[in-house]
Amino acid sequence: MENASKALLMAAGVLLGIMILSLAVYLFSSFAGTSSQIHANIEENQIAQFNSQFTTYEGKDNVTIHDVVSMASLATQNNQAYEIPYQAADENSSYIAVICNGVSIELGYKPNQTTEQRKNEIEQKYNKLISNEVNNISNEKGLPKYTVKVDISPVTKRVYRVTCNKIT
C-alpha cells in the first residue's frame, strides 16, 4: 500500500513537471512571436515615416523648385549615408532617384570624395537649379510649379523614385 501511494505521488510529480515545462515552452514561443511582431511594426512605422517625407508633396499644386531641391537633398543624404553610388531608379535597390523634367538631380555616393567636396558639389548643383528657376520667373506667374509622382518599391517598401515635372 505504501509503495502504491509513493508511486502515485511520483507519477503526479512527473505529470506536474511536464505541465510546467509545456507551459514554459508555450509562453516562450508566444512571447517570441509577439516580439517579432513588435519589431516588424516598428520597422513598418520607420519606413512609413521616411516615405512620408516624399509623399507629402504628391498631389499638391503649389510645389516649387525649393521643394524639389529639398526632396533631392534628402535623397542625396540617404544615398550617401548608405554609401550607394549613383544608379538608375531600380525598385530592388535602396537608391533614391529624383528626376526633374527628365533629368536626374540627386547625387550618389562617391568614395573618392571628401565630405567637404560632396557638400560643395551638392550646394553648387542645387543652387544652380534654384537660380535658373529664379532667373526664369515671369512677372505674372511667379516661380514655376511642379507635379510630383512618388514610386514606392514593392520589394523594399521604400521610395525609390520621385518624378517632378514642371506645370506649363
125 domain-assigned: yes
Distance of alpha carbon 92 from alpha carbon 158, whole angstroms: 10
Is 63 among the domain residues? yes
Q: What percentage of residues in the chain have a pLDDT greater than 90?
A: 39
State how far the Cα of 91 lies from the Cα of 156, in Å rounded to an integer: 7
Q: Give yes or no for residue 42 having a pLDDT over 70.
A: yes
Q: Is residue 138 pLDDT above 70, yes or no?
A: no
The pTM for the full model equals 0.74
- 8 A C-beta contact, residue 57 and residue 148: yes
In a domain, 106, yes or no: yes
Q: How many domains does the chain have?
A: 1
Decide if 134 is inside a domain.
Answer: yes
Taking residues 8-32, report their average pLDDT: 89
In a domain, 109, yes or no: yes
Domain with 113, as residue range(s), is 56-166
- Tell me the longest C-alpha to C-alpha distance in the chain: 109
Given a cut of 70, whether residue 165 has pLDDT beyond it is yes
What pLDDT, on the 0 to 100 scale, is given for residue 80?
A: 85
Identify whether 22 is part of a domain. Answer: no
Please determine, for residue 45, whether its predicted confidence score (pLDDT) is greater than 90.
Answer: yes
Structural contact between residues 68 and 164, judged by C-beta atoms closer than 8 angstroms: yes
Residue 152 lies inside a defined structural domain of this protein: yes
Residue 53: all three cell numbers together: 517625407
Decide if 13 is inside a domain. Answer: no
